[in-house]
């Protein structure tokens, strides 16, 4: 037998020996070794015990041809033969496939060339000890394939000696364990992820078995419930965190799931109460998932303390209730409008101010109830507000009431933005200032009226003074006449002032004019007529005329003696829109009257000025029995 054949036979014997140890749980290599024994018995009649030992002598007696080559190539494990430096001498097909290299390529390499750098130091150490002392070793290591990928292999490595005991070569039997190693790595990574999740999770993560005993209790659970993991692990979950009145329901739910696979809280988020270590109760949000591991049910609960959320929700509800109450009960009209101006929310006061119902306003825009002449300014400001040019603006404007009338409002407009600063809607607060506007307009009217009346009064005073001084015979007479006429004017002003210069009663004007002349008793003055309201202009003119008539009667007429009397009467004739006042002044019982050669200032004041001022007719008749004055003027 040649040395090569002898070496190959020794190699096969070592394979049988190593395969039995490395693959003791696999049937194929054992079968092949047994097959080798049977072949040896049949071909050569060698007597072998059940503890078959391969030596160089008996292997050399095997047929080294096709049977041995087939055994080598068909081995279920990868088999490689190297020299004492690690250089490959031979490798079977399974080994070549494992390391993804052709046989010819392997013969140019050493074991060290295809071993992963991280695994090489230990491999080299064990290899050296094998070469030095023949010590068989096992190693799990990685081979590096040509594409850079790795394959994990479990290697059983042994020395091959010649019949003389000389160390000839090294044989390695390898099994691919990549799947197992990957699974172990995945498991370790999974456990690491689980541990990281449990340790860093902000929520409580608790795992229990089907008996309710706690298996996992993370730091968040420790912090939330007040129980350390050392105390909680192994305890009944219900006794640790579930309130007494809920424990029976918990046990029934567990039993139902174990019996039917259905649970009332599985796959849902529920809110309920839990217990802390001090016995206090607090609300939690709970979600439970169920898993089955090796036929045993496990339940993982995710719990979150929602006390703060409940407080926030309660505070939010209270805030919204206050805002709603303020919104609905405010004395100002409040609305929310979208970026186009359409009403999206209105309060009751705005409905009252505009006359529209809530449903009617929700179909409109603020532009729809704004008068056209007020719209440009408001709309321009609103567009600028909705494009972020301005945030708020104020103005006075008008609304068109549902009835068609105009309402003045004081408007304050602001804007609400989203998280990105984009306008969501506008808030418009309006206060009805129609009364104030009317008061301002009335005040202006009164000021204008006052200016007009002051000018007229001054003109009247000027005329009284001028005419009186021109016709008075003595300074004393002039003084007396001016005082009397100014007093009459003053008394008429008093009447109008009490009536806010809106109107005056004719009865009061007459009474004021004749009050200084009542010394003779009421029988001398007969006053009769309906209650008639006079405009300020008419009241002043009549007051001055009555003053002149009374002064003249006191000096020369019916009031100048003890027997005379004056009868003043009036009536209103015609329809309301065209009514006329007819007033008569008649003197009786006084000295006989002679018509004057010329008309004095008093007569001219009555006949001309009164007629012009009141746009009517005034006539004085100097009859013998007594002076008669008639006034006929329009009341409208």
179 versus 48: which is more confidently predicted? 179
Q: How far apart are CA 216 and CA 129, in angstroms?
A: 47
Q: Provide the pLDDT for residue 47.
A: 30
Can you give the pLDDT at residue 264?
Answer: 72
Residue range 475-500, pLDDT digits in tens = 776 677 667 666 666 665 665 565 55
Q: What is the pLDDT of residue 481?
A: 63
Task: Kindly tell me if the per-residue pLDDT of 144 is higher than 80.
Answer: yes
Give yes or no for residue 383 having a pLDDT over 80. Answer: yes
- For residues 409 and 399, is the Cβ–Cβ distance under 8 A? yes
Sign of CA dihedral 552, 555, 557, 562: positive
**DSSP structure string for 443-470:** HHHHHHHHHHHHHHHHHHHHHHHHHHHH
> How much is the pLDDT for 415?
93
Q: What is the pLDDT of residue 409?
A: 93
430-461 residue pLDDT tens: 998 988 888 887 777 767 766 755 665 665 56
**570 Cβ partners below 8 Å, 6+ apart?**
506, 529, 530, 532, 581, 582, 583, 584
Q: What is the pLDDT of residues 80-105, one digit of tens each?
A: 999 999 999 999 999 999 999 999 99
pLDDT-derived band at 296 (thresholds 50, 70, 90) equals: confident
| Average of per-residue pLDDT values in the chain | 81
Q: Tell me, what's the pLDDT at 456?
A: 56
Select the more confidently predicted residue: 33 or 122: 122
Q: Determine how many CB atoms are found less than 10 A away from the CB of residue 75.
A: 23
Least confident piece of the model among 12-16, 43-47, 447-451, 540-544? 43-47
- Percentage of the chain modeled with pLDDT above 70: 79
What percent of the chain stands above pLDDT 90?
44
Question: If pLDDT is split at 50, 70 and 90, which confidence band does 401 have?
Answer: very high
Mean pLDDT (whole number) for 135-158? 95
Dist CA 502 CA 496 (whole Å): 7
Which has the higher per-residue pLDDT, 146 or 555?
A: 146
* HEC-encoded secondary structure of 188-203: HHHHHHHHHHHHHCCC
Q: What is the pTM of this model?
A: 0.43
């Amino acid at each position: 037998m040649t040395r090569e054949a002898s070496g190959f036979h020794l190699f096969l014997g070592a394979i049988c020996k190593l395969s039995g140890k490395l693959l003791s749980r696999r049937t194929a290599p054992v079968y092949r070794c047994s097959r080798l024994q049977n072949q040896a018995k049949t071909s050569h009649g060698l007597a072998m015990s059940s503890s078959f030992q391969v030596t160089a002598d008996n292997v050399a007696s095997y047929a080294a041809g096709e049977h041995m080559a087939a055994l080598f190539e068909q081995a279920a494990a990868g088999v490689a033969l190297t020299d004492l430096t690690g250089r490959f001498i031979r490798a079977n097909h399974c080994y070549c496939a494992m390391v993804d290299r052709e046989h010819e390529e392997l013969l140019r390499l050493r074991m060290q060339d295809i071993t992963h750098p991280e695994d090489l130091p230990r491999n080299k150490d064990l290899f050296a000890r094998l070469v030095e002392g023949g010590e068989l070793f096992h190693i799990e290591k990685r081979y590096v394939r040509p594409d850079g990928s790795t394959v994990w292999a479990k290697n059983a490595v042994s020395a091959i000696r010649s019949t003389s005991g000389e160390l000839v070569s090294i044989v390695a039997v390898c099994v691919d364990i990549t799947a197992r190693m990957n699974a172990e790595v995945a498991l370790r990574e999974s456990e690491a992820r689980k541990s990281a999740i449990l340790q860093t999770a902000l929520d409580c993560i608790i795992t229990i078995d089907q008996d309710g005993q706690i298996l996992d209790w993370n730091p968040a659970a420790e912090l939330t419930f007040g129980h350390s993991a050392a105390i909680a692990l192994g305890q009944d979950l219900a006794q640790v965190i579930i309130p007494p009145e809920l424990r029976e329901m918990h046990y029934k739910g567990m039993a139902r799931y174990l019996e039917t696979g259905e649970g009332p809280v599985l796959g849902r988020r529920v809110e309920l109460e839990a217990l802390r270590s001090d016995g206090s109760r607090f609300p939690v949000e709970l979600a439970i998932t169920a898993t089955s591991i090796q036929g045993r049910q496990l339940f993982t609960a995710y719990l979150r303390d929602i006390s703060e959320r409940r407080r926030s929700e309660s505070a939010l509800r209270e805030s919204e209730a206050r805002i709603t109450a303020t919104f609905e009960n405010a004395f100002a009209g409040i609305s929310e409008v979208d970026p186009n101006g359409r009403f999206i929310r209105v309060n009751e006061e705005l409905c009252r101010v505009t006359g529209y119902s809530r449903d009617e306003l929700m179909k409109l825009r603020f532009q729809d109830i704004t008068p056209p002449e007020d719209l440009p300014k408001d709309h321009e400001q609103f567009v600028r507000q909705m494009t972020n040019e301005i945030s708020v603006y104020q103005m006075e404007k008008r609304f068109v009431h549902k009835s068609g009338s105009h309402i003045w409002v004081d408007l304050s407009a602001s804007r609400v933005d989203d998280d990105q600063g984009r306008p969501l809607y506008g808030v418009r607060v309006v206060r009805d200032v129609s009364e104030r506007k009317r008061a301002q307009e009335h005040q202006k009217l009164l000021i204008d009226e006052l200016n007009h009346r002051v000018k007229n009064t001054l003109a009247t005073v000027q005329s009284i003074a001028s005419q009186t001084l021109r016709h008075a015979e003595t300074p004393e007479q002039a003084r007396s006449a001016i005082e009397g006429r100014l007093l009459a004017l003053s008394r008429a002003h008093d009447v109008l002032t009490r009536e806010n210069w809106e109107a005056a009663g004719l009865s009061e004007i007459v009474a004021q004019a004749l009050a200084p002349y009542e010394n003779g008793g009421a029988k001398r003055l007969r006053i009769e007529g309906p209650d008639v309201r006079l405009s300020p202009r008419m009241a002043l003119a009549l007051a001055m005329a009555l003053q002149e008539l009374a002064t003249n009667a006191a000096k020369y007429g019916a009031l100048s003696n003890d027997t005379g009397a004056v009868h003043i009467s009036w009536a209103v004739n015609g329809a309301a829109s065209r009514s006329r006042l007819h007033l008569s002044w008649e003197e009786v019982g006084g000295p006989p009257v002679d018509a004057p050669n010329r008309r004095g200032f008093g007569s001219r004041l009555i006949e001309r000025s009164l007629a012009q001022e009141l746009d009517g007719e005034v006539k004085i008749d100097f009859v013998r029995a007594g002076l008669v004055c008639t006034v006929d003027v329009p009341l409208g």
